[in-house]
Chain A
Amino acid sequence: MSIEISRIRKSYGAFEALQDVSLRIEKGELVALLGPSGSGKTTLLRIIAGLEIPDSGSISLNDEDATNSTARERQVGFVFQHYALFRHLTVAENVAFGLRLRPRATRPSEQDIRERVRKLLDLIQLDWLGDRYPNQLSGGQRQRVALARALAVEPRVLLLDEPFGALDAKVRKELRRWLRRLHDDLHIASVFVTHDQEEALEVADRVAIMDHGKIVQMGTPAEVYDNPASAFVYQFLGDVNLFHGRAESAETSVSYVRPYELEITPQAETAHGAVLAKVRHIAAAGPAVRLELLREDTGHALEAEITRDRYRQLRLSIGDTVGVTPRNIRVFAK
């Protein structure tokens, strides 16, 4: 099942949520729509699901035009950020909901429904919670139930709107790996919306980065990370330092360096012409040590990330002056 989105536009009053967006997602592919809030990613997802009607443009599912079909007809599984579980139904009944709706002719027998629900609850590892109500569950459990509910109707496409956004960091990491494995087993086209670049880069086969209603870059995580198309993409995909080198054409371009691409040297060993900076803060917990520096020439703040070994070698303390040399500068036209 593939998804073909072509030339979609959508405005809310004067606000253009989507401006001429086109995108093709192949069967078996897991695509992330990544962007800041207001970039149009959720609107795009809802348009794919049929929950929102585009002003113009078309959507094809499996190369059949679906632009005018309703959410019901599209047979997509949709997972909401805040789960949207039916709180008056038990977990098992939530999962069975889509099956029980079917007209008698296509509805599985009661026994088959129960069997399918049991298998899905097994899959989400919550088989022991079938009789509970949603508000007796933790956030992570609820989201897994919401996923099982969407999968119960065997959707042709799985769409997830910030599925892990409301969960705490640890559960989020766990669930996104689990989602990746699940997606590989199901082999359907899946699209998920996120504003967390780490999540998108880790889980997705391809990432569509959105800004102001447009897809600004589309590619595999490695492609977009290594070859960002614009300053926006570069900034959005990780921490950055605005780095002004020597006067070179500062009017027409901007230069950026990632924190781990700054070489820190003791003041004494600093080559002539390197930038000097004062250490303002040291965060020494974690796999890498983060330094907050203040450039002595321009007064700008810099953030650097060095290995623990290097940190021990340098024997830094707050107030020291160090030399800073960028290993890799990216220059973007303004």
Chain B
Amino acid sequence: MSLPFKKPSILPGFWPAFSYTILYLSLIVLIPLSAVFLKSVTSTWSHLWRVVTSPEVVASYRLSFGASLVAGMISVVVGFLVAWVLVRYQFPGKALADALVDLPFALPTAVAGIALTSLYTENGWLGRYLAPLGIKVAFTPLGVVVALTFIGLPFVVRAVQPVLADADAELEEAAASLGANRWQVFRLVIFPIVRPALLTGFALAFARALGEYGSVIFIAGNMPMKTEITPLLIVTKLEQYDYAGATAIAAVMLTASFLLLLAINALERRTRKFMTMG
């Protein structure tokens, strides 16, 4: 038997490795996800269509995708800065700061949500200084963005850090000796090197933000049409025993996320092209 994608290779173990990959992807990702689609079609199409296009649900898509995109972009900027500082500078407490970055991974997200909420309410530690400026964070879409940034930041930092550490200082020196100023060195030398890693970090942070539930529901306040995220609506539907409705929303979200991630990956592959050639 010969399949078109098997090339002779001196690296043994293609078939076992490939089989396991497919097996686990099936068991853990594909089968549960197909169950979502199968479950949702137990109802009539018209009912499903009504559910996924109801104004409340559409508003939640807007918030979920919008806030996740914004949070992803903030994570990219701030995460890059954090990674830069951790790689380029020596300072006391660096190891501590480095460990701190991972904390959002380890923290139960509900804890993060409660902590953020109590900080940002109008009489919270931070909220009380923001309120006079007319900035409300807790119970607004802005609060959702804050929570999602908190969750997404480590992904960007951890994606960019190793790439930045690997980037040769000689490249920057070469650019400087050719007449580049600091900004040109960054824009023309450093940025192109870390761009694929930034995109990876963005995709991870974005995907994580889309599915985030625990930290958001506390700070969002869950006002219909305003601060309800899509995962919350899914849970609400489940609590009302509307399984078909819940899975239908989930299917819409899944499809949209998948297409977005596919697009980001394609973009990343394009920016990485120069590294894989030759």
1/0 contact string of B17-30 vs chain A (CB within 8 Å): 00000000000000
Which residue of A has the minimal Cβ distance to B191?
A88
A27 at interface by CB-CB < 8 Å: no
Q: Are B179 and A153 in contact (CB under 8 A)?
A: yes
Question: Given A101-B179, A150-B178 in contact, is the A78-B173 Cβ separation under 8 Å?
Answer: yes
Instruction: Collect the chain B residues with CB atoms within 8 Å of residue A23's CB.
Output: none
Within 8 A of A (CB), among B243-278: 274-275, 277-278
Residue of B nearest to A75 (CB): B179
Cβ of B275 and Cβ of A87 under 8 Å apart?
yes
Closest to B192 in A: A88
**Is the beta-carbon distance between A78 and B177 smaller than 8 angstroms?**
yes
Partner of A153, one of B171, B178, B274: B178
Inside 8 A of B87's CB, which chain A residues have their CB? none
Instruction: Say whether, besides A101-B179, A101-B180, A153-B179, A136 and B278 are in contact (CB < 8 Å).
Output: yes
Checking A82, A86, A101, A132 against B184 with a beta-carbon cut-off of 8 angstroms, the contacting residue is A101
- CB nearest neighbor in B for A100: B188
In whole angstroms, what is the CA distance A152 to B176 when docked? Answer: 14
Residues in A neighbouring B171, C-beta threshold 8 A: 84, 86
Q: Does B174 contact A (CB under 8 A)?
A: yes
Q: Does A11 sit at the interface, judged by CB under 8 A?
A: no
Q: Name the residue on B nearest A52 (C-beta).
A: B173
The reply on A77 being an interface residue by CB < 8 A is: yes
Residues of B within 8 A of A70 (CB): 176
Residues of B within 8 Å of A85, CB to CB, are 174
Asked whether B142 is an interface residue with its Cβ less than 8 Å from the other chain, the reply is no
> A149 on the interface (CB 8 Å rule)?
yes
Q: Is the CB of A76 within 8 A of B175?
A: no
Question: Is B193 in contact with A88, judged by CB distance below 8 angstroms?
Answer: yes
Count chain A residues whose beta carbon lies closer than 8 angstroms to a beta carbon of B: 32
Find chain B residues with CB under 8 A from A243 CB: none
Q: Which of B168, B179, B188, B193 contacts A72 (CB 8 A)?
A: B179
Determine how close the nearest CB of chain A comes to the CB of B190; give it in whole angstroms. 11
Q: Among A85, A86, A135, A150, which residue has the most Cβ atoms of chain B within 10 A?
A: A86
B98 to chain A, nearest CB (A): 24
Q: How far is the CA of A25 from the CA of B174 in the complex (A)?
A: 23
A149→B178 contact, CB < 8 A:
yes
Residues from chain A with a CB closer than 8 A to the CB of B278 are 132-133, 135-136
Q: Counting CB contacts under 8 A, is B170 at the interface?
A: yes
Whole-angstrom distance from the CB of B174 to the nearest CB of chain A?
Answer: 4
Closest B residue to A161 by beta carbon equals B170
Distance of A138 from chain B, by nearest CB (Å): 11
| Contact yes or no, B179 A102, CB < 8 A | yes
Complexed CA–CA distance, A49 and B275 (Å):
30
Q: Residue of B at shortest CB range from A102?
A: B179
Residues in B neighbouring A97, C-beta threshold 8 A: 175, 178, 188
Residues on A with beta carbons closer than 8 Å to the beta carbon of B176: 51, 70-72
Q: What mask results when residues 160 to 182 of chain B are scored 1 for a CB within 8 Å of chain A, else 0?
A: 00000000101101111111110
Considering the chains assembled together, what is the distance between the CA atoms of A84 and B193 in angstroms? 13
**For window 222-242 of chain B, which residues contact chain A by CB distance below 8 Å?**
none
- Across the interface, name the chain B residue whose C-beta is closest to A159: B177
- Cβ of A236 < 8 Å from any Cβ of B? no
Is B70 on the interface with A (CB-CB < 8 A)?
no
Write out the residue numbers on chain B whose beta carbons fall within 8 Å of the beta carbon of A50. Answer: 177
A133 pairs with B178, CB closer than 8 A: no
> Measuring CB to CB, which residues of chain B are less than 8 angstroms from any residue of chain A?
168, 170-171, 173-181, 184, 188-189, 192-193, 274-275, 277-278
Beyond A133-B274, A136-B277, 17 additional pairs, beta carbon < 8 A: A49-B177, A74-B177, A75-B179, A76-B177, A80-B170, A86-B171, A86-B175, A86-B188, A87-B274, A88-B192, A88-B275, A97-B178, A135-B274, A135-B275, A135-B277, A149-B174, A152-B178
Q: Please provide the 8 A-B residue pairs with the shortest distance between their CB atoms, ordered closest to farther.
A: A136-B278, A98-B178, A84-B170, A84-B174, A78-B177, A88-B192, A71-B176, A88-B274
